[in-house]
Amino acid sequence: KTEMDTTQITMAAGTLAAAVAAAAVITTKVRNFFSGGVDIPGMKPTFPFGNVGVLSKGVLEGMEVLCKEHADKKTGMASFWLFSEQFLSCLHHEDVREVLLSSSYRRPIKSIAAHITRFLGTSALVNLNNDEWKHHRRVMGKAFHYDHLKAMVGDMCFASERFIRTLEKTPAGEAMDVYQVMKFVTMDVIGLTAFGVDFECGKDVSGGMPEVPAAFEELLEQMTKRTYTTNPLMQNYSLPTAMNRKHKRLAAVLRTKVDGVIEHRLKMREKMREEKTKGEAIEEEHNDFLKHMIPEDASESAFTPKELSDELLVMLFGGFDTTSIFLAYCLHLLAIHPEVEEKVRAEADAVFEQTRDGPLTYEDVTRLKYCNMVMKETLRLFPPAPLTTRTTTKDLVLGGYKVPAGSQTWLPISLIHRDTYNWGADAEEFKPERWDTEGELDGIKKQDIPQFAWIPFSGGPRNC
């Protein structure tokens, strides 16, 4: 019996020792799981997800907690963890400037990049980095030249006027979802200016969109759902689910249309070169971004048809939802600030009176100075893209903290735009006049606005 008791005690002691050792190892691993980061104030992470749970309620709400409530009150800097990786954020315009001007690199987050690639393709500018990004950016930058944009005012006015005529037929007093309605005119403008296609969405805003725009909108919604869900079935595109079958069908509808437009345009360009060689009259090409993304000289470095297709979808992606959101918020702010609405209306009436029922020109638009201030103030308070990110490519000093190269950095645009350090005590107020820095309206100069305190289109070499 004594020998048996001794054996049991020995076994129990061994088991206990093993358990203690295992606990020590686990404790050390948990402690090391969130180690090695920059020593910047932030919300305490919990094993194993870090601070991911805070973002599950919504990106805007999560940013408020992580990037503002738990930030260093003096410097506006904060740190947080998504799983085992540390992220930093900054609010003050000097630090924002430092980050945006020092790096155009964004380390891909595989789970997000995979869904964007499925939607927009492997050559989409938003997913590219380094030399490949520089090449695509250079070609698209030429297409977005100011002179090209000026020449597109006619198409913008055409789509807008048709949309207004449609709205005028709406029975008085009938309510409508302004955000949804703005999508119709936005899609028409982008279709015409990007690749010369009139989707005719603005002809009727009482129902759904035509087939191709509707396919794009549904795919955009699917991408958003798949990106932020934890459902493994939605992450996989090969399973025979109803969602995947619909995705495949809609993607075919969208790509068939865009690829068809590109094929027609490339054939047209080849024909134009032949006519030019023969000295014959050349058919005029529609002025749009696609025109300026195809070089006139066939020997110049050019996008492949697949790259053109991907980048045209990027234009839809970058301008459709964002512009609709902006227009909806702008109209909302005018509705709740009637004194501002009256000023905008008076300025518009004055400009249209000078045109004498003629077409609106780029020069006419530049005379809408107060309207421009209203738009800027809307973008300040309600930026359609509330967040952008960068991965630092060299060591920086942000808010007095040493930040090493390779650090993942968040720039929470919606918080930067309302930070009192950048904008003063009235940062939360809607004041279009704050943009009248030269005193053009009342002769009184205002305080200059720091360059990187307002970044609705991001900033630096990777600005929108």
**Whole-number Å distance between alpha carbons of 88 and 421:** 19
Tell me the C-alpha to C-alpha distance, in Å, between residue 352 and each of 139, 150, 279, 357, 358. Answer: 36, 18, 42, 7, 8
CA 218 – CA 265 distance, rounded (Å)? 27
Distance from C-alpha of 149 to C-alpha of 319, rounded to nearest angstrom: 14
Question: Higher pLDDT residue, 229 or 145?
Answer: 145
Q: Do β-strands 85-89 and 78-82 pair in parallel, antiparallel, or remain unpaired?
A: antiparallel
- Closest by CA position to 259, among listed 210, 312, 200: 312
Question: What is the token pair recorded at 210?
Answer: 């035509």
pTM: 0.90
Banded pLDDT at 10 (limits 50, 70, 90): low
CA proximity to 238, closest of 121, 114, 122: 114
Query: How many degrees, rounded to 5, is the angle at CA 85 between CA 81 and CA 89?
Result: 55
Q: Which residue has the tokens 């087939």?
A: 211
Strands (E), 250-339: none
Evaluate whether 307 touches 136 at the Cβ level (below 8 Å).
yes
Mean pLDDT taken over the chain: 91
Q: What is the pLDDT of residues 45-94, one digit of tens each?
A: 999 889 988 987 788 999 999 999 999 999 999 999 988 899 999 999 99
Strand partners, 367: none
Confidence check: pLDDT of 2 > 90: no
Quick one: DSSP state of residue 181? H
Q: What is the dihedral of CA 175, 200, 332, 149, to 10 degrees?
A: -170
Q: Which one has a higher pLDDT value, 16 or 100?
A: 100
Instruction: Give residue 18's pLDDT band: very low, low, confident or very high (50, 70, 90).
Output: low
Report how far residue 106's alpha carbon sits from residue 103's, in angstroms, rounded to the nearest whole number. Answer: 8
Using the structure block, give the residue that is written with the tokens 């409508």.
176
Give 46's strand partners.
50
DSSP 68: I
- Specify the DSSP element, H or E, that contains 389: strand 388-391
